[in-house]
Amino acid sequence: MDPSSARPFEGLRLIDVGCGGGLLSEPLARMGATVTGIDAVNKNVKIARLHAGAVLL
């Protein structure tokens, strides 16, 4: 992990438990982490997937 890098979390794998719409997952991914978000509410997971697809495009 290089704090002076534009992607300081490059190479890290993280789990965001209770990810909701991905408000924490997205910035972590932009900083280089591979993030897996899980949530008990199916609607939240669907919203996060839609938003992630829009961000990636």
Q: Tokens standing for 46? A: 């669907």
Q: What is the mean pLDDT of residues 37-48?
A: 89
Q: What pTM, to 2 d.p., does this model score? A: 0.76
What pLDDT does residue 57 have?
44
- 8 A C-beta contact, residue 30 and residue 6: no
What pLDDT does residue 54 have?
67
Measured torsion, CA atoms of residues 42, 13, 31, 50, in degrees rounded to the nearest 10: -20
- 8 A C-beta contact, residue 19 and residue 25: yes
C-alpha of 28 from chain center: 5
pLDDT tens for each residue of 2-42: 778 889 999 999 999 999 888 898 889 989 999 998 999 99
